[in-house]
Amino acid sequence: MKCAMYYNNRDIRLEDIPVPKIGPDELLVQMHACGICGSDVLEWYRIKKAPIVLGHEMTGEIVKIGENVERYKVGDRVFVSHHVPCNTCHYCLNGHYTVCDTLRTTSFDPGGFAEFIRIPRINVDRGVFFLPDEISYEDGTFIEPLACVLRGQKIAHLQPGQTVFIIGGGIAGLLHLKLARAIGASSVVVTDINKKRLVFAEQFGAKAAILTDDNIPEHLKEVNNGHLADMVIVATGAIEAINMAWKTADRGGTVLLFAPTEPGIDISLPLYDIWNNGITITTSYAGSPLDISEAIELIRSKNIIVKDMITHRFPISRAEEGFKLVEKAQDSIKVIIEP
């Protein structure tokens, strides 16, 4: 079968590998669509595992089932979660599913940028979700990133009527925009260094889309009747963006650090200002099975529209072009790989 083998962001090769053999408790899924995630082009994160077939935002059709599998049948349309929790460890029992050791070590075989994917037993047990008829294979590639965004806003306790400031207008930032509006935020403002992304932010309902400069706090006050933001969501790992968060959170506000920096990067905190202004700082990683179920319903019900976020589609044979677009972060929002 064909796959897109990752060696680095500029070296994605079309290769032939064997179709995986499945065990009695496993599934074989034919990939129909798989999104390129921003994390797929974090070279410092991916390069240490290369060569590897990446891709975790995958939807497809079950083409073979193990003899012990009862819940699914050949022909079922599914979204498959690559990471699944154990549900029994200290972290899971305290609701912190996404820091579970099992979640961080599970995956399917190979990644989603391949024609066929073997779904291991534990993923079959708790990571395979039926794709409703209302959700296309392409729209289903947004389930995993939306689940991550949903978990982040839950952890940060976003409430209707609050003002939201999103730093970073890539796919994550724009999904945060759509979800915040669906939840009932009174205003959502987006900033980015890329004017093209700001155009999308305006199309998706941002109250204002501001090109990043030194006067962001003042711009924010102009939009929010003299106030900064109740919630600041940092959807980029840039140090400048993180430093901007402390300057744009209103008193009593919350800063959600949604995107990671490279390991070993330290940041300075204006601790007195954070303490004096009652700022809460929180983080979020990945999504749980519950978040995935809720994301599926948000897309199925069209409370969150995702189709208008797809800017590019490529076959597996042209996956390298897709990776270059996502890494460049200039002309694309969502890039999807299809067979």
pLDDT digits (tens, 9 = 90+) for 40-78: 998 988 999 999 999 999 999 999 999 999 999 999 999
Q: What is the mean pLDDT of residues 308-323?
A: 97
**Could you tell me which of 59, 55, 53 has the C-alpha nearest to residue 12?**
53
Neighbours of 5 (CB within 10 A): 22
Map tokens 């794709």 to a residue: 131
> The pTM is what?
0.97
Token code pair at residue 221:
């006050």
Percent of the chain exceeding pLDDT 70 equals 100
- Please give the torsion angle defined by the CA atoms of residues 39, 164, 195 and 269, in that order, rounded to the nearest 10 degrees: -70
Phi (first) and psi of residue 93, to 5 degrees = -65, -15
For 224, other C-beta atoms within 10 Å of its C-beta total: 20
Phi, psi of 250 (to 5 degrees): -75, 165
The 10s digit of each residue's pLDDT in 223-255 is 999 999 999 999 999 999 999 999 999 999 999
Q: What is the 3-state secondary structure (H, E, C) of 75-138?
A: CCEEEECCCCCCCCCHHHHCCCHHHCHHHHHCCCECCCCECEEEECHHHHHHCEEECCCCCCHH
Say which DSSP state 213 is in.
-
- Write out the residue limits of the CATH 3.90.180.10 domain(s) in the chain: 2-145+287-338
Q: Rounded to an integer, what distance in angstroms lies between the CA atom of residue 109 and that of residue 283?
A: 29
Alpha carbon of residue 272 to chain centroid: 33
CATH architecture of 157-283: 3-Layer(aba) Sandwich (3.40)
| pLDDT for res 214 | 83
Averaged pLDDT of the chain: 97
What distance lies between CA 143 and its chain's CA centroid?
A: 8
Domain at 2-145+287-338, CATH from 3.40.50.1370, 3.30.420.40, 3.90.180.10, 1.10.3760.10: 3.90.180.10
Strand 229-234 vs strand 163-167: parallel, antiparallel, or unpaired? parallel
- Name the pLDDT band for 130 (thresholds 50, 70, 90): very high
What percent of the chain shows pLDDT beyond 90? 97
- Burial of 74: CB neighbours in 10 Å, binned 0-12, 13-18, 19+: exposed
The pLDDT assigned to 45 comes to: 87
| Rama region for 19: left / alpha / beta (φ>0; ψ in -120 to 50; rest) | beta
**Beta-ladder partners of 334:** 310
Q: What was the pLDDT predicted at 229? A: 98
pLDDT (tens digit, 9 = 90+) per residue, 75-115?
999 999 999 999 999 999 999 999 999 999 999 999 999 99
Length of the chain in residues, anyone?
A: 339
- Which residues are paired to 192 by β-bridges? 211
Reported as a single tens digit per residue, the pLDDT across 141-180 is: 999 999 999 999 999 999 999 999 999 999 999 999 999 9
Task: Tell me the C-alpha distance between 221 and 228, whole Å.
Answer: 5
SS3 189: strand
User: What stretch(es) of the chain map to CATH 3.40.50.720?
Assistant: 157-283
What is the model's pLDDT at position 44? 86
The answer to whether 31 and 316 are in contact (CB under 8 A) is: no
